[in-house]
Amino acid sequence: MKINNIVTTPYLDQKPGTSGLRKTVKDFQKRHYLENFVQSIFNVATELKGSLMILGGDGRYYNTEAIQIILKMAAAHGVREIMVGQNGILSTPAVSCLIRKYKAAGGIILSASHNPGGPDGDFGIKFNIANGGPAPTAFTDAVFNLSKTLDTYQIVEADDIPLDKLQTCGIGNMNIAVIDPVNDYAKLMESVFDFPRIQSLFSSGLFTMCFDAMHAVTGPYAHRIFEQQLGANVDAVINGMPLEDFAGGHPDPNLAHAKELVAVLNSGGSAPDFGAASDGDGDRNMIIGQRFFVNPSDSLAIMTANAHHLPGYRLGVRGVARSLPTSQAVDKVAQAMGIDCYETPTGWKYFGNLLDDKRITLCGEESFGSGSDHIREKDGIWAVLFWLNLIAIKQQSVEEITRSHWSRYGRHYYTRHDYEAIDIDVANALFDNLRGKIQTLHGKTYFGNKVVLCDDFSYTDPVDSSITTNQGIRILFANESRIVYRLSGTGTQGATLRVYIERYITDTSQHNEPTQTMLAELIQVAADIAQIPQRTKRTTPDVIT
């Protein structure tokens, strides 16, 4: 086995965001760009030497080429064995499952999640540690610091490994297992949910579903689990073939991008009873009923309130966590249940310590992500199975389950307004202006709503005492309404300003109003306080969810 030491020049833009390094495909195709970042990972993750590593991605453009490079670099760095998904496919939840089940030292996931794919789209790479979750900030900071001074990387001279068939092979002293990407994950789902109970939904012939895989990674998982194992209707899965460019679509499971699914569920009498979608790498989900959308924040609250009905959670929910911008709907449930509810920064890695320390059982984010202690990633297929299992138990529709929840706990009207691809300097100036207003906003009243708290959110991890600052500007009102501003770290072009607005209503007679109507005054307040039209030259957001 010949190991080559390749001379390289460092790139200074390889700072990982909340979900690893995301750039355009063209960036990753630059000379030595991918290799530099992978070398930096191996330099930090020295535990990979002599150990098992998991490798796979969402099948987007450049996925297979990147896998071949990483395999050869792993061999050069003494990795003992790699498990890689057939055709390079592994969902992010499946990688977490495999790391935990086979006690791997870590895993590399190739995905830009919900970002567009194809030659002109985006690509991404992140490292998951031995607990199955995303690497913590200390790790990603170390990788970034090394990448800025890197001058060589190591790679083995070897032929590419065929990934289209299940096999065991090797490069030098490193064993490679090309595995079925679905098997282990499907077995885990069977242990968490009551599959016979869900099967009874479909065997009755009275219940149908539609799952939109958006031509992304969850297609094989959905076909196997929903259609083959659970016996769902034959047309239950749409857009189930993973494609390098996601058929030109934007694999983000929300009302703006899953338009085909929304149209099917809004089609009247012929509509399926249940609809769902997942994203590029399979960790996000959208749940909808007939002409009825479930806000992800409400979904987390409903899961928390009902988890004890499901086999995997019959011992109860220890606690729950949500990200800062996620609505406070789950807080009401936790209060009623007498369990802890943690508010964390955005990014799934912040839930890892809470899960490992057994402080929480469930967690979620408003950005269509929810999960539990079964793995250390958010999990789209898991969320769909959770809802199917709940429907089978309660014998109620998606809308009936949600409205019953609102009747008991109140409704949090909630929306997110995204202003995409803003010039970074403009976005930073907008936030600097907001931070300057923090002290002056306290006590002010807008449309009868008094500000009782305004701050730049910081988080002290209750497990390791690490401190994370500058996570978003939040404004809390006396009537439990909120406005939160954040700059997103998941895009590749400019900056994305996200504005989150929520209003809490207990009066059930007001639970049927359009969300944007109920939030209109607060939407105006949010725009005025941040001076969004003046500073961004945008009068409307690019995406509303």
Q: How far apart are CA 513 and CA 406, in angstroms?
A: 13
Query: Residue 209 in contact with residue 232, Cβ under 8 Å?
Result: yes
Burial of 148 from C-beta contacts in 10 A (0-12 / 13-18 / 19+): middle
CA nearest to 251, candidates 277, 290, 232, 221: 277
The DSSP bridge partners found for residue 323 are 344
DSSP per-residue letters across 41-103? HHHH-GGGBTSEEEEEE---TTHHHHHHHHHHHHHHTTB-EEEEEEEEE--HHHHHHHHHHTT
Q: Where are the beta strands (DSSP E) in 263-409?
A: 274-278, 285-289, 292-294, 319-323, 340-344, 362-365, 369-372
Characterize the bridge pairing of strands 495-505 and 411-422: antiparallel
User: Tokens 């539990």 appear where?
Assistant: 372
User: Tokens 């991008």 appear where?
Assistant: 257
The DSSP bridge partners found for residue 342 are 321
User: Tokens 């709503």 appear where?
Assistant: 449
Residues in the chain: 545
Q: How far apart are CA 391 and CA 379, in angstroms?
A: 19
Q: How far apart are CA 86 and CA 42, in angstroms?
A: 23
Q: Where are the beta strands (DSSP E) in 351-406?
A: 362-365, 369-372
List the structure tokens of 345. 């920064």
List the structure tokens of 457. 């959110």
List the structure tokens of 2. 């010949």
Q: Which of 40, 113, 147, 370 is catalytic?
A: 113
Q: Is 465 among the residues known to form the active site?
A: no
Query: Residue 62 in contact with residue 29, Cβ under 8 Å?
Result: yes
Q: DSSP secondary-structure letter at 447?
A: T
Burial of 199 from C-beta contacts in 10 A (0-12 / 13-18 / 19+): middle
Just list the catalytic residues.
113
